[in-house]
Structure 1
């Protein structure tokens, strides 16, 4: 029997982006199962280079709409002569000839949920224009061609958005994003706060993450404080919170952040999964979510989160319930970690690949 062969495609298969980490995990899943693995990427994690066949992928610099438009021909070029049995991708424009597609973003859904923001300036306007162009190309491709691949949605939210926008594919299932650092995350006892709740927010100033929506809600809870971390947040302040706000900026080590907060807020306008929310839950920290966070159903089922409807009164009510630990079910950190265990989800991914080989 010949060794099965999977080709994994993404611009970067490394730790420098959320989807890049997923692609790196998929490569590791194949290697640990004894599969032959081809990585089609512009950038590849150095630790993988000795173990895979790396086919270098040309990616045009900077202009996202151009990158999207040329992805199919450049990937086909990189794969010339490949003898792979399974092609695993993360980009919709590759699904006409792929076997499995792990869906971690939908451009049209992001736009419809206001994820692009309305910031002024030429750079922001150009980014929004490119996003709209990509969404039109994505719509045209998926409505015309559909997905020939087995569609693996990263969350119930993304599944529902896909069905709303494009209808049911021939094959589709949920495959959660794995908690890649679960082994390093230990739940800690979280007593009821003695004073006002300390609310954590990760995501910096990216409009999609919803900080603009969060600040007035926190301001209305007069004893609450807000700790902000993430890119671009260095020195951030807001007169509505004054000294009740502290901004840590970007930091690779969030140990102090996690230790300082009672509740994590994730008011994202569009969040396909929400790995920070699941990490908080695995640490025993309850999470206050917007309805557009993909892991909401998972965390709600475990009593680890509450959903905020966007109003100041509901924010105060949900925050009070979370701070008092009145909705949590015992053992929720362990249950979340078990659900998102990388080995368990890796077995699911391998089962989809094996089915593709047999087909």
Structure 2
């Protein structure tokens, strides 16, 4: 159960989708309950072996929406299930947790909710935190991307009282691309993710514009149209105005993603709110070093592998220096980083851990 699901793209939705589809391939019967965020989407369909049920939305509110039918639908399906897996933050979480019946409850707490600062938004964040705390208290198991992410959360005092299992998000092998996005032989820096305020992309643009090399290129890939709460693409275009070296590619999928990683020399994740960063791990697994902000959870892949660099958030100067340092990384160091990232985060590692945890909760019985 979660708010947004495919075809919407975010780190949270991709993590949920890959876990659901992976378990379905292994013989589990999996249903996803989400909001019908796009009225053109069907209320029910089967995607890659997963039954997807979408509840109607009455109105959109900031990054969320009003959908009284969502907890009702989720409760009905949970009552027919052995296990309910909720992805948080989620404003309906407490209601669904209370209606789960006999189903075991697993909560994956992906990240603290984020909204731009303001009195109304601060109250909204407090309210979402309270709802998430209720769901966590009812959980048989809490999953986070890493222990450092859990400890850095606003609701850590609640999480610490439950059974906690760190499992990194599923990461795909994106090797096999062609460098079709390259434009010349100069340094190519890449970012991929939702084009939203919390990604800190303006700091990356400022860092890149301080690189005095006419052959350098910055590729900014990601959805700037279907973004919950709206995109800041207009502000970013103004930030980049006049620098023809900067390119916004829009949303990339499938082979385009592989080609993106094959086209860059270093990956940047300048987020001001991030709990893991699947994209930086996928870059690592193609031997591209990342430069990420030193946030609880977002720093875990670099710290665990030793591949890449960490910089303070909102610091274009430190970001520029780290990007240039990683761009010069020798091939043998890139290969060693690729191997370390693949060993820790690649293949079926995440899926194996989820399945093992679920089976333990169900007494060894496959759902």
Q: Where on the TM-score scale, by shorter chain, does this alignment land: which range?
A: 0.7 to 0.9
| Mapped contact 1:274–1:293 kept (Cα < 8 A) | no
Equivalence for 1:57 = 55
Could you tell which deviates more after superposition, 327-336 or 286-295?
Answer: 327-336
Choose which of 68, 87, 105 in structure 2 pairs with 1:99.
105
SS in 1 for 2:30: strand
Give, in whole Å, the separation in 2 of the partners of 1:166 and 1:210. Answer: 28
SS in 2 for 1:288: strand
Alignment of 1:131-210 (within 5 A): 131-143=121-133, 146-149=136-139, 150-162=141-153, 165-167=156-158, 168-179=160-171, 181-182=172-173, 184-186=174-176, 197-203=187-193, 205-210=195-200
| Mapped contact 1:308–1:315 kept (Cα < 8 A) | yes
Equivalence for 1:23 = 16
Could you tell which deviates more after superposition, 273-282 or 56-65?
Answer: 56-65
Equivalence for 2:304 = 301
Give the RMSD, CA atoms, in angstroms.
3.7
Equivalence for 2:204 = 214
Choose which of 281, 285, 288 in structure 2 pairs with 1:282.
285
CA change 1:347–1:105 in 2 (3 A) is same
CA change 1:257–1:31 in 2 (3 A) is closer
Give, in whole Å, the separation in 1 of the partners of 2:270 and 2:200. Answer: 5
SS in 2 for 1:261: coil
How many residue pairs match? The answer is 327
Q: Which runs of 5+ in 2 are unaligned?
A: 37-42, 225-232
CA change 1:280–1:30 in 2 (3 A) is closer
Give, in whole Å, the separation in 1 of the partners of 2:268 and 2:357. Answer: 34
Choose which of 72, 84, 89 in structure 1 pairs with 2:86.
89
| Mapped contact 2:148–2:296 kept (Cα < 8 A) | yes
User: Which TM-score applies when normalising by structure 1?
Assistant: 0.75
Could you tell which deviates more after superposition, 263-272 or 54-63?
Answer: 54-63
| Mapped contact 1:38–1:55 kept (Cα < 8 A) | yes
Report the alpha carbon displacement of residue 325 of structure 1 after superposing the two structures with TM: 0.5
SS in 2 for 1:152: strand
SS in 2 for 1:318: helix
Give, in whole Å, the separation in 2 of the partners of 1:11 and 1:143. Answer: 17
Q: Deviations over 1:295-319 (max 9, x none)?
A: 4322333232101224444334322
Q: Deviations over 1:17-43 (max 9, x none)?
A: 333333333333433333333433446
| Mapped contact 1:102–1:153 kept (Cα < 8 A) | yes
User: Which TM-score applies when normalising by structure 2?
Assistant: 0.73
SS in 1 for 2:108: strand
Q: Deviations over 1:146-195 (max 9, x none)?
A: 4321110023453122366534131112111101x31x524999xxxx97
Report the alpha carbon displacement of residue 200 of structure 1 after superposing the two structures with TM: 1.6
Give, in whole Å, the separation in 1 of the partners of 2:206 and 2:5. Answer: 38
Give yes or no for the alignment of 1:317 onto 2:318: no
Give, in whole Å, the separation in 1 of the partners of 2:7 and 2:31. Answer: 18
CA change 1:151–1:60 in 2 (3 A) is farther
Q: Deviations over 1:59-92 (max 9, x none)?
A: 4342358747847742454337x33221111135
Alignment of 1:98-137 (within 5 A): 99-107=105-113, 110-111=114-115, 116=116, 129=120, 131-137=121-127
